[in-house]
Chain A
C-alpha cells in the first residue's frame, strides 16, 4: 500500500514538472498554431536568470524571482515580436516556424553555455533532507509545493479560459483564427499575450525545476520533449488538458517502470504518445471541431 502511494507520489512529482512546461507550450501553440520548441530553452533561461540574480548578484530569492519573471516575459515577447511575427507576416508556414524555434533553442542553450559554463549548478537555497511521511510514502515540502502549483494552474487556467474575457478571446483565436479576426479580435494582441503569459510560466517552471533537480544548460531539451508529450496526450489545443495529460504521463511512466525494467521509461512515454496520436489524436481533453 505504502509502495503504491509512493509510486503515485513519484508520478505526481514527475507529472507536475512536465505540466509546468507543457502549459506554456500549449498556450502558445493553441493561439499561434506552431510548435515553439524553444520553450524548453526559455525554461532553462528562467532557471539561469534566477541563478544570476540570486547566487551571483545576491538579491533576495523571492525578489530575484520577480525580476526573473519579468525578464523572461519580456524575452518571450521580444522573441515573438522580432522573430516569429516578422516570419508570420510574410506567410511562413508552420514548418518554417518549427525550424526557427529549434534554431532559437540552440541559440539560447549556447548563450547560457557561453555565459554560465557547462557545469551543473545549484541554488543551494533549500536543504536536502528526508521527506515528510504520509501513510508510509515520502515526499518533500518542495515537491508538495510544485504539485500544488500545477494543480492551482490547472484550476486557474480552466476557469480563466472558460469565464474571463481574455480567455474567451484566446479560445476564439485558437478555435478559428480567421473567424476571430473577422469578428474584430486583434490576433496580434492575443499572440503577444500568449507569449508573455507562456514565458512567465516558463520562468516559474524553470525556478521550481531547478530547485528540484539543479541547473544545466541543456536541461530545456529533455523538458520540452516530455512537456510536449504531456501536452499532446492531454490535447494540445486545451491548456488545462495539457496539464492533465502531463500528470497522466508522469504517473504511467513511474507505475510502468515498477513492473518493467527502468531503462524502458522513455519507451513507455513514447508508446503512450503513439497510441494517443493513432487512436485519440485530439487528446484526453481534445477540442471537437464541428466539421470533422
Chain B
C-alpha cells in the first residue's frame, strides 16, 4: 500500500524521461525517415548540445547533419547511408562518458565524431580504446590529447600552439612581463594556460592565475585580487563566451583598465564580439584560421546559409567539423566500417588532404600538423594582428 505513491512517482519519472529522450533524439532537421535504409552506417556524434557550450554545440550538430545528408544524397558510402546518432556530452567528462558508453554498448558504433570539448575527449578516449572504437575530434585542443591513444585523432590543432604564439607576441612585441590569468577549471582553458606559461616563463616573464569552477557567475573577488597585483595584461581563458562576458562586464564595473587576451572560444564568437565590442576592444587572441578561399569552405558556408537561413558561426570550428565528416567518408570508403582499421588509416593516410579548414595532415601522434595565428579584436571583429 505504502509503495503505491512511490511506484506512481517512478512511473511518471520514467514516462517523462522517455518523452524527453524521444523528443531530443529527433534529428535536428526532420530528415525523412525513408532516407534511412537498413544498410546504414552508424556514426556516433558527441558534443555539447546544452549548457553554455551549446553556442558552438548547436551549429556543430547542424554542420555534421548537413555533411552527412550531402554524402547520403550522393549515394552514401559504397551504397550504404550514414546515420548520425547525436549524444549530448554537455562539455563535461562525466556526461560524455555516459554518452560514449551508450553509443558503444547499445548502438554498437565503430566510429565517434567527438568529443568536441577537450573535457569530453579526455574522458571518452579510455572507453573508446578499450572497445576499439575510433574517435575523431573536430574541436578538442587540449595539449594533453597529443598522442593519447592510437584510437584518437583530431583535425583541430593543439592549444600548445595557441599559448606559444600569444606568449611570444606578449613578451617580444608588447613588452609585457607579468600576465594575470582567469582560468576556468576545464581541460581546454587550463591547457592554454599551461602552454602559455611554459613559453612565457622560458622567455623570462611571469604569470599568475586564479581559477573558477564551471558555472561560476561572481568574479568580483578574483578581479579585486588580480587588480591588486597590477599585471601588464589579463588573459581570460574560458570554455565559453558566456563566462567571458560576465568577466568583462565585472571588470568594467570594477573600473579596471587592463589590456586583454582571450581564448579562441571567445574571439570566435562573432555575434558576441559585435554585441560586446566596447568590452573587447584591443584584445588579443590566437585562432586557428580556416581557409575561407577554399572550394570546400565556400560550399560549407553557402550550403549552411541556404539550409539553416543564418550565417555560419565559429568558422574555424565548423570548417574542421565539416572536414571531419568528409575525412571519415574517405576512411570508410577505403578501409570499411571497422574502428581499428579506421584508426590506422588516420595515422598513416591523411597527408595534404584538401578541406574547408585548409590542407590537412595528421601526424603519427594523431595531431593536426598546423598552427594558430595571432588576431586582434577591433570594433567588434577579430582581425589579423600585424
**Interface residues, chain A, with chain B CB atoms under 8 Å away:** 3, 6-7, 9-11, 13-14, 17, 87, 90-92, 96, 99-100, 103, 106-107, 110, 113-114, 117-120, 128-131, 138, 140, 213-214, 216-218, 221-222, 254, 257-258, 261-263, 265-266
Contact = CB atoms under 8 A, between A and B. Distances in A.
Interface in B204-241: 210-213, 215-218, 220-222, 224-225, 228
A17 B9 CA distance: 32
B4 interface: yes
Contact of B50 (A9, A14, A118): A118
Nearest to A213: B217
Per DSSP, are chain B's interface residues mostly helix, strand or loop, or mixed?
A: helix
A129 B51 CA distance: 27
In the complex, the 6 A-B pairs of residues with the closest C-beta atoms, listed nearest first: A118-B54, A263-B211, A10-B220, A90-B5, A92-B5, A120-B242
B12 to A, nearest CB: 7
Interface in B165-200: 185
A100 B6 CA distance: 10
A216 B213 contact: no
B9 A99 contact: yes
Contacts of B50: 113, 118, 217-218
B121 to A, nearest CB: 21
Contacts of A7: 221, 224
A21 to B, nearest CB: 13
B20 A110 contact: yes
Given A3-B228, A10-B220, A120-B242, A222 B215 contact: yes
B252 A262 contact: no
A95 to B, nearest CB: 9
Interface string B1-37: 0101110110011001000100100000000000000
B254 interface: yes
B364 interface: no
A254 B185 CA distance: 18
B218 A213 contact: yes
15 contacts: A6-B220, A87-B8, A114-B23, A118-B50, A118-B55, A118-B58, A120-B55, A129-B253, A131-B253, A131-B254, A138-B254, A216-B52, A216-B242, A258-B224, A258-B225
A242 B138 CA distance: 47
Most chain B CB within 10 A, of A100, A120, A257, is at: A120
Contacts of B218: 10, 13-14, 17, 213, 254
Contacts of B58: 118
A219 to B, nearest CB: 8
Contacts of B51: 118, 216, 218
B245 interface: yes
B309 to A, nearest CB: 15
A96 B221 contact: no
B16 A107 contact: yes
Contact of B252 (A6, A87, A99, A130): A130
B210 A261 contact: yes
B216 A265 contact: yes
A210 to B, nearest CB: 11
B97 to A, nearest CB: 19
B185 A263 contact: yes
Contacts of B9: 87, 92, 96, 99-100, 103
B373 interface: no
B225 A214 contact: no
A14 B6 CA distance: 38
A110 B12 CA distance: 16
Given A7-B224, A216-B52, A265-B216, A138 B2 contact: no
A117 B218 CA distance: 23
A106 B279 CA distance: 35
Contact of A213 (B2, B4, B49, B246): B246
Nearest to A139: B253
B308 to A, nearest CB: 14
A103 B255 contact: no
A110 B212 CA distance: 26
Contacts of A13: 218, 220
Contact of A103 (B13, B23, B225): B13
Contacts of B2: 91
A113 B50 CA distance: 8
Contact of A265 (B5, B8, B12, B213): B213
Given A10-B221, A128-B249, A131-B254, A263 B5 contact: no
A35 to B, nearest CB: 15
A103 B211 contact: no
Given A120-B52, A222-B217, A265-B213, A129 B252 contact: yes
Contact of B221 (A106, A117, A262): A262
Contact of B49 (A118, A129, A214, A222): A118
Contacts of A140: 253
A236 B288 CA distance: 51
A138 B221 contact: no
B253 A130 contact: yes
A217 B49 CA distance: 13
Contacts of A266: 213
Contacts of A110: 20
A140 B49 CA distance: 34
Nearest to B220: A10
A186 to B, nearest CB: 22
A10 B225 CA distance: 12
Nearest to B211: A263
B194 to A, nearest CB: 15
A127 B139 CA distance: 34
Nearest to B216: A265
Interface string B44-73: 000001111011011000000000000000
A129 B6 CA distance: 52
Most chain A CB within 10 A, of B13, B218, B225, B249, is at: B218
Interface string B150-168: 0000000000000000000
Most chain A CB within 10 A, of B4, B58, B222, B252, is at: B222
Given A6-B224, A17-B218, A120-B245, 8 more contacts: A10-B224, A14-B220, A91-B2, A128-B249, A128-B253, A131-B253, A257-B225, A266-B213
